[in-house]
Amino acid sequence: MKRPVFADKAFEIVLRKLASGAWAEGAACSPVRQVADEMRVSPQPVQQAYRLAAHQGLLDVRPKRVAVVLPGARDKARAILAARDAQVTSRRLAVLIPEEFFPLSGAPFQSHLAQTVLAAARHRGFEGRVVSVPTKHPLRFSRRILRQYDAAFVIDPSPTKVMAYFALAEHGFPMLSFNREIPGLELPTLRTDDESACRQLGRIMVAHGHRNICLIETMKYEYLSGKHVLSNAWLRFLEDEGLLDGCSMPVAYHKAETFGMVLERLLRIRPRVTGIVLGIPSALCSVIDTPAFCTLRIPQDISVAAMSSVSHMPWPSRHPAITCFELDWERTGQCALEMIQEMLAGNANPKAIRVPLNIQLTDSIGPP
C-alpha cells in the first residue's frame, strides 16, 4: 500500500470515528502516533489525514497541540462518507468467522450463510472473502482487516475473540453482525424474526393438543443474543396463550456437552413434558443414537421441533425429519448488503431489519 493510499485509508478511519460518534464534538482526537501505530504505518499519512480533516472543517489542528473535533463534524463526516461511497466502484468485504468453525465443511450453516452473503456482495460489485478470526494476536488481526477490507459481516462472534472486534469498532470500521450481540459493543445486527416464528410454532403445537412444552436453549447463545433472547419470545408466547402455569419446565438451558443429561432429566419430570422446541437442533442430533435415547420415539413419546435449520444435519431414518425453520437465504444476503452499504455511506446505525423464517412442517409434531 503506497503512501497516498495509506493517507486515504487514514482519512477514512478519521471520518468513521467522527461519523460513529467515537470522537465527539469538542473532544480531543487520538494522537497521530497512536493512530499510526494501530494502522502499522508511519505518522506522515495520518498527519496528512488530520490536515485534510481540518481543511474539511472537521478538526481543529494546530502545531504541538492535540487535534480537537469541531462542532458539526459528525454530520459533515457522514456527508463526506456518502459522497465517497457514491464514487467508489469496488469495495472489499470480509466475512468474519471464528477459527473454531474451520474447516467450514464441519460448519455447514456458517458456510452456507457466508456464501450467501458473498454472492450478494459480488452482485453489488464487492470483492469478498471468508476470514478466520484467531484467538491469538487480536490487534495484529484487526490491523490487517483495517488495511485490507472496507467492511465486515460477522458470523457467530465468539467471546474469546472480543478484543479483535473491539479494536475494529474503535476505528469506526463498518461491521454487521448476524443474529448475535457482542456484550459491551453496539454493533448493527441483522436479525431473524424469532418472535413471529415462536408464535407460529407454538400455535401449531397447541393445535395438536400440547400444553406442556419446553424450549431447550444454550447458555452461550442466550448470552450472545443480548436483549433479543429466544427464551424471552417463547415465554411471552406461553404467557399470552395462558400456558405458562401448565408447563413443568418452560425453558431449560444447557452447555454443549450437557444436552443429553438435561434432556434425560427433563423427560423424568412429572407431569411429563409432551413437546420440546430446540434452540440448537444439532444438540439432539449428537445424542439421539446414544443408549439413553435410542428407544425414544418421535412423535409418539415426544413431539420435537427446532427454531433453526436441520437440513445440514445427520438424522436417523427411523425418525421423521424435524419440523424446523429455514432462512429466506436470498433475502438474508440482500438485507445484509443493504445494511453494510448504508454503513459505508456514513450511517453507523442503519435501520434494523428482521429476516423472515419459513417453517418446514413434518410429522415430528403429533398429539401428546
Q: In order of start, what are the domains of the chain with their CATH numbers?
A: 3-87 (1.10.10.10), 91-187 (3.40.50.2300), 194-327 (3.40.50.2300)
pLDDT value at residue 98: 95
Beta bridge partners of 214: 276
What's the predicted TM-score (pTM) here? 0.80
| Phi, psi angles (nearest 5°) of residue 11 | -65, -40
In order along its 368 residues, the chain shows pLDDT tens digits of 444 567 888 888 888 888 888 888 888 888 888 888 877 778 888 889 889 989 999 999 888 788 999 999 999 988 888 888 777 767 899 999 999 999 998 888 999 999 999 999 999 999 999 999 999 999 999 989 988 999 999 999 887 888 999 999 988 899 999 988 887 888 899 999 999 999 999 999 999 999 999 999 887 766 666 666 788 899 999 999 999 999 999 999 888 778 889 999 999 999 999 999 998 888 888 888 888 788 899 999 999 999 988 888 888 999 999 999 999 999 999 999 999 999 998 888 898 889 999 999 999 999 99
Cell of residue 185, nine digits: 459493543
- Going from the C-alpha of 323 to that of each of 24, 214, 355, the distances in angstroms are 49, 15, 19
pLDDT value at residue 184: 82
Alpha helix ranges (H) inside 64-107: 73-87
List, as own/partner pairs, every contact residues 313-317 make where C-beta atoms lie below 8 angstroms and the sequence separation is at least 24, other chains included.
Answer: 313/281, 313/282, 313/285, 314/285, 315/285, 315/288, 316/288, 316/289
Candidates 42, 48, 111, 172; CA nearest to 309 is 111
Candidates 284, 299, 270; CA nearest to 368 is 299
Contact call for residues 276 and 288 (beta carbons, < 8 A): no
Candidates 241, 242, 219, 240; CA nearest to 230 is 219
* CB neighbours of residue 203 within 10 Å: 12
pLDDT value at residue 1: 42
Tell me how many degrees the CA angle 75-80-86 measures, rounded to the nearest 5.
130
